[in-house]
Structure 1
Amino acid sequence: MSRKRMGYGGVGIEALEGREAVRKRPGMWVGSTGERGLHELVFQVVGWSVNRVLAGREGGSVDVTLTYDGGVRVADDGPEVPFGAGGDSGGGLEALLTRMPAAERGGRRIAHVSPVDRAGLFVPNVLSSRLTAEVRHGGTRRVQEYARGVAGARPVATGLTAGSGTVIAFWPDAELFETTRCSFAVLAERFRQVSFLNRGLGISLTDERPAGGARAVSFRFPDGVRDFVAALDAEAGTFLPPDVIGFEHEDPRMAGTMEVALLWSGSRPEDVRGFTNSRATRQGGTHVDGFRDGVAAAVTAYARGRGLPAGDGAPRADRIGDGLTAVVSVKLDHPEYLGATRELLGNTEVRGCVGEAVREHLGRWFDEQPQRAAQIVDRILRTGHRD
């Protein structure tokens, strides 16, 4: 087959080796060739669009559609990106589709929609039987089509358009995947979580496949992790209006921001969830440890300031955690994880920064809400006295 017919210019030839490696062992790049790998493919494309939107104006959106013919269409209203070279990243969309992304550099608080850091377009393009990329740039709409990672032709201008954004439509390759049918429920749950963790970000999911008609969900949470904690509280069976304590704070010492929300409700088991750059850290880490430090310090200071029997040291973690629901989300320029699964944050400076901020903000809330503070602290201390 001729180079012209294959659609290979210099960029294509440079990517050939990487393309062949990805297609030969797709499970190495998306985790599996089953449903989990299929979802990873979707998460990588959605993650790219989410980070474009977060880098642009506030209140942007990403719209995902599971098409009736087995494809996935991801549309965003992010900043303009050209097809060719010249974008802020040093290259345009065509380079992103045909080159393996470089290792992630510091200085960017990337939102990880997928469990893999390789959020980009190259792997999804290579592992799709076909892909169509559409760009709104400079008042013109341009479209380019690919087959298994190879461009069929140069981008084509198809008319005038307003605004900016991209649309990536792709069809996972049935020759590589055991199934090409995505789970609406799995995708919806992850998109909901990402929207909670990125305040104001809109994500919608539409499924055109059901015979009885399309179904759709849409997520946008103006209060971010406060809304997340309120939702967790409601899911646990609380029917009273939640009294959520929350704050957002940036600390240059940890090169990042934190967003924390918590509430005490009932006497159910503790539910504290940690996230780093929108990735769940199920094993916890320094951000969660700092949160616990800060809560213990605030409770102890409040009790001692009012002559309550706080004991010789801070109340035990199990006392404080009774009925506690919390989300601790940090976004870092340089996250460091312990272990291969990246579920345990290791940045040592984060613990002190989060602990200090939680102690300060929770202590202020205690002062502003004396009746609720007394109820919370008294219950924690009484729980300790029953031991």
Structure 2
Amino acid sequence: MTESGNPSQPADVNEYTASHIQVLEGLEAVRRRPGMYVGSTGERGLHQMVYEVVSHAVDEHLAGHADAMDVTITAEGGIRVTDNGRGLPVEVDEPTGKPAVEVELTELSFGSKPHTGYRVSGGLSGLGLCVVNALSSRLTVEFHRDGHRWTQEYQKGTPVTPLTRNEETNEQGTTIAFLPDADIFETTRYSFATLSERLQELAFLNRGLAISLTDQRPERPVRYHHTDGLRAFVARLNPYPPSLVHSPAIGFESENENKTVSVQVAMQWNTWSSGELHSFANSTRTSEGGAHEEGFSTALTGLVNDYARRQGQLTADDEDITAEAVHEGLTAVVSVKLAHPVFEGATRTRLSNPEANVYVHAVVHEHLTDWLDHNPNEAASIIRHILNTSTGHGRR
């Protein structure tokens, strides 16, 4: 009994009502659950912050508006990314009454990127810049657009200055600088080697895009620019010329009529490795594979068997060559770009789009069959290599 004479009422642990539901508004949700958006609060999530800002510059390149990007690890440990694209949009967003750039940096708008009209977009489906802003203790944006230089500053996702129009300029491009929030991340020290590896990868995947990385802790600049795209990527992965079954690497690309799916492939067999397949979707590594890998592997195994039988390297009595044997010693990179990619899991490591499977299968079957027919000597070497390895794998 209480002093008032009313019996105390114990809480009902089985009770569950609307009052128990906590709704996190806007960027508060990102700051409370950062792992849901960048994968972790460790080194992986820390570097994902950079990749999200970099994705904006890559999207400008894919849209035909940028051909250069500079990434800097600043002396204080932050990141600065500059591109020579169109600059972020400044028009007022009707529903919110805010400048479009502020909406892109503060509003969780799931789906395609707002305002910019990208046909193909990497990053977190339009959330990238917003998430980076939310998880940064400080972020500044500077861009050149509509004949002026524009600036705005944020702290922990909240604007602390209005979007400001500065002096006139004939330049174009965007610079985003941010300092990761030490209250959120377990470490805020960036790895030059980790960033260098990913940026070189992006230069391979996006032919013609020049990417530089500078570390001001002390200064250590590198620059990547690969006009040969994925074939240059494969050449880097196959560094021992005497072990190559054929040279140069095979490379081809194609885009469907609706421009909703495109694929680039480069591949080369060697005698020293067990084989490695690297796949990407919208420049994001798909470490768990998915539809595009399945389309590639199925088409490759089928056409290798068809070609070997047509050339008499397999007889009617021979069993089919297995997929394992076909992939033995094969270094391949498969990159698809889709208007509407569907990934499994928050970490975006497996592609689910069935149209990617179908289109990659068709492109690989057509282009690789054509290459084999037009390069009979190299094709014969490849089949001999596969047949030699097939004895260790058996036939299916």
Same fold at TM > 0.5: yes
TM-score, scaled to structure 2:
0.82
Select the residue among 104, 107, 110 that pairs with 2:121.
110
Report the equivalent of 2:352. 346
Contact 2:108 2:127 in 1 (8 A): no
**Local SS of the residue matching 2:379:** helix
Report the equivalent of 1:296. 301
Structure 1: runs of 5 or more not aligned: 1-15
**Residue 201 of structure 2 is aligned to residue 190 of structure 1:** no
Q: Percent identity?
A: 44
Select the residue among 211, 221, 234 that pairs with 1:203.
211
- 1:115-154 Cα deviation digits (max 9, x unpaired): x546422222222222211110122112222222222222
Query: Which stretch of structure 1 is more off in the superposition, 332-341 or 71-80?
Result: 332-341
Moved over 6 A (4+): none
Q: How does 1:1-387 map to 2 (within 5 A)?
A: 17-57=25-65, 60-85=67-92, 92-104=100-112, 108-112=119-123, 116-117=124-125, 119-210=127-218, 214-234=219-239, 242-252=247-257, 255-311=260-316, 314-338=320-344, 341-384=347-390, 387=394
CA distance in 2, matches of 1:371, 1:240: 11
* Residues 333 and 308 (structure 1), Cα distance of their counterparts in 2 relative to 1, 3 Å cut: same
Task: Provide the aligned length of Structure 1 versus Structure 2.
Answer: 363
- The one-letter amino acid paired with 2:128 is G
- The one-letter amino acid paired with 1:39 is H
Contact 1:54 1:201 in 2 (8 A): no
CA distance in 1, matches of 2:361, 2:148: 50
- 1:214-266 Cα deviation digits (max 9, x unpaired): 10111121122111111111179958994200100113489301101111122
Query: Which stretch of structure 1 is more off in the superposition, 241-250 or 61-70?
Result: 241-250
**Local SS of the residue matching 2:221:** strand
CA distance in 1, matches of 2:157, 2:118: 30
CA distance in 1, matches of 2:192, 2:380: 45
- 1:340-371 Cα deviation digits (max 9, x unpaired): 65433333333333222212212221222211
Contact 2:245 2:382 in 1 (8 A): no
* Residues 321 and 238 (structure 1), Cα distance of their counterparts in 2 relative to 1, 3 Å cut: same
- The one-letter amino acid paired with 2:27 is R
- The one-letter amino acid paired with 1:364 is D
Contact 2:59 2:118 in 1 (8 A): no
- The one-letter amino acid paired with 2:376 is P
Contact 1:277 1:331 in 2 (8 A): yes
Structure 2: runs of 5 or more not aligned: 1-23
- 1:262-312 Cα deviation digits (max 9, x unpaired): 111224201112222222222222222221222223323322222332555
* Residues 85 and 344 (structure 1), Cα distance of their counterparts in 2 relative to 1, 3 Å cut: same
- The one-letter amino acid paired with 1:79 is R
Contact 1:45 1:119 in 2 (8 A): no
- The one-letter amino acid paired with 1:121 is L
Contact 2:35 2:41 in 1 (8 A): yes
Give 1:209 shift. Answer: 1.1
**Local SS of the residue matching 1:171:** strand
CA distance in 2, matches of 1:352, 1:156: 48
**Local SS of the residue matching 2:120:** coil
CA distance in 2, matches of 1:65, 1:282: 27
- Structure with higher Rg: it is 2
- The one-letter amino acid paired with 1:110 is S
Give 1:208 shift. Answer: 0.5
Query: Which stretch of structure 1 is more off in the superposition, 39-48 or 151-160?
Result: 151-160
Contact 1:274 1:281 in 2 (8 A): yes
Contact 1:139 1:163 in 2 (8 A): yes
* Residues 73 and 237 (structure 1), Cα distance of their counterparts in 2 relative to 1, 3 Å cut: farther
* Residues 119 and 64 (structure 1), Cα distance of their counterparts in 2 relative to 1, 3 Å cut: farther
Contact 1:52 1:78 in 2 (8 A): yes
Give 1:170 shift. Answer: 1.4
Give 1:62 shift. Answer: 1.5
* Residues 338 and 158 (structure 1), Cα distance of their counterparts in 2 relative to 1, 3 Å cut: closer
CA distance in 2, matches of 1:256, 1:91: 32
TM-score, scaled to structure 1:
0.83
Give 1:174 shift. Answer: 2.5
